[in-house]
Structure 1
Amino acid sequence: MAGFDAFEVIPAVDMQDGEVVQLVQGERGTGRRYGDPAEAARRWIDEGARTLHLVDLDGAFEGERRNAPAIEAILGTVGEDAEIQLGGGIRSAGDAIDLLERGVDRVILGTAAVEDPEIVGEISDEYERSVTVSLDAKDGEVVVSGWTEGTGLDPADAAERYEGLGAGAILFTNVDVEGRLEGVRTEPVRRIAEAVSIPVIASGGVASVEDVRALKEAGAAAVVVGTALYEGRFTLAEAAEAVR
């Protein structure tokens, strides 16, 4: 499930209190709101997205999936039209398998994978290559629990380990630049892409189509874009054209 036939630009649909929101560096209270998640999902599909990146931010912060109704609405509205990857608050293999059975194509595990690495294999045994491990890094260190706790892990080393445990892809978010619209840092992405053979999805800091192109050149198989798309810095079509 985790392969990308060609480089993809993946719109983010981050949800808090049932609405689309984009946070700055993951800090609560910094976000701008962009309305109904299902409407946003439909908009991105209509503009050409092949994959959607859904995040339950309440789940990420509090460990409980509070945006389940919005996620169900998205699956019902566009689930047949795009690949759906979902993260935030997935804390057990049972949670993940339930979501995969409901129509989610890939589950994104962050905190759960760090706390219990074997969960990756447990889910992959049921749904091969369905687990994307989320490695969020601040100052070069993997962080968890809504980017609030350091782990001491190096992102490239961690990526290699999770590939061995059965992960189908790595989602790498550079928290240092996330949501700031100030550009990307390609070196950490390059390091991870060179460490693994599974797809690396890059996230954080994209402000222009040049940033999208730079991440592709660094070895990413796809890039997640949130704020820049919602704020109209460029369109999905412009980004796709830049890397064609």
Structure 2
Amino acid sequence: MSHFPSFEVIPAVDVQDGEVVQLVGGERGTGKRYGDPVEAAERWTEAGAETLHLVDLDGAFEGERVNADAIEAVVESVGGDGVGLQLGGGIRTAEGARELLELGLDRVILGTAAVETPEIVADIDETHPGSVVVSLDAKDGEVVVSGWTEGTGLDPAEAATRYEELGAGAILFTNVDVEGQLEGIDRDAVESVVAAVDVPVIASGGVASVDDVVALRDAGAAAVVVGTALYEGQFTLREAQAAADGN
């Protein structure tokens, strides 16, 4: 089953110290704050979001889940409304991932853990098929890990193929060069990852306009995660989804 029967625009709810923030270029401390995570989640759901992209930013940097309470509050608030919830940040073990899936999340996003111990992907897939999204962050055309600080020498398309073979249900592909800067997307990079795998590719990073959303759809992405542009009011969720649906 495909997670995304049609192209989806997915709002990001990135949580740091219990508040919604958007970082610039993945740098800690560059975040602009946008209030309470539950309020943000409810706002996007009311605006028509079918999926929400939750990130525990402190978890991503510290390697453990720091904002568990805030995330759980979001799951309790909107998780039962037929809204798909995916969470990344600080998930390092299969056991930790399963706990989250049992809490009511639909998909878990693994980044550093998947790169360092790829068997975790297969392990989670065994009990919760299709629920693992492997997050590949690219900078200058190579996959980077640990909060974007370490290069791996891996080509994103090759890495995507490897994780698909291990059981990844989807690939989240983020171009860190353009993250949070509203400078537009790197369509070619997305196309090469899409061409490499059969599972859905969720694109993220640099979306500044409705045209970027449409370009990512045309590049073959199954969905796009949008953060800064939505919070800054560059366009509304409905405008982006309507354009992507060709209306």
- Mapped partners of 2:149, 2:56: distance in 1: 16
Pairing 1:227–2:228 present: yes
SS at match of 2:52: strand
Measure, in 2, the Cα distance between the counterparts of 1:210 and 1:35.
28
Q: For 1:157-216, what per-residue CA distance to the aligned partner results, in whole angstroms no more than 9, with x for missing partners?
A: 000010000000000000000000011110010000000000000000000000000000
How far 1:29 sits from its partner (Å)?
1.0
Residue in structure 2 matched with residue 76 of structure 1 by the alignment: 76
SS in 2 for 1:107: strand
Unmatched segments (≥5 aa) in structure 2: none
1:243 Cα deviation from its structure 2 partner: 1.1
The count of residues paired between Structure 1 and Structure 2 equals 244
SS of the residue corresponding to residue 35 of structure 1 reads: coil
For the residue of structure 1 that corresponds to 2:115, the secondary structure is helix
Q: What is the distance in 2 between the residues matched to 1:2 and 1:113?
A: 21
The separation in 2 between residues aligned to 1:96 and 1:64, in whole angstroms, is 12
- CA-CA distance at 1:64 after TM superposition: 1.3
The within-5 A match list for 1:52-201 is: 52-81=52-81, 82-201=83-202
**Alignment-derived partner of residue 37 in structure 1:** 37
- State the alpha-carbon separation in 2 of the partners of residues 184 and 114 from structure 1: 24
Question: Can you give the 5+ residue segments of structure 1 that lack an aligned partner in the other structure?
Answer: none
Matches of 1:186 and 1:210, distance apart in 2: 12
SS at match of 2:28: coil
SS at match of 2:80: coil
CA distance in 2, matches of 1:109, 1:175: 16
Asked if the contact 1:14/1:55 (under 8 Å) is kept, the reply is: yes
**TM-score between the two structures when normalised by the length of structure 2:** 0.98
Distance 1:148 1:54 in 2: 21
Deviation of 1:125 after TM superposition, in Å, equals 0.1
Whether the aligned pair in 2 keeps the contact of 1:26 and 1:147 (CA below 8 Å) is: yes
How large is the RMSD of aligned CA atoms in angstroms?
0.7
Question: What's the CA shift string for 1:82-104, capped at 9, x where partnerless?
Answer: 00000000000000000001100
The structural deviation recorded for 1:2 is 5.5
Q: Report if the CA contact (8 A) 1:2-1:106 is conserved.
A: no
Secondary structure in 2 aligned to 1:70?
helix
User: Would you identify which runs of 4 or more consecutive aligned residues in structure 1 move more than 2 Å?
Assistant: none
Deviation at residue 4 of structure 1 after TM alignment: 0.5
**Hey, what's the Cα distance between the residues in 2 that align with 1:80 and 1:239?**
25
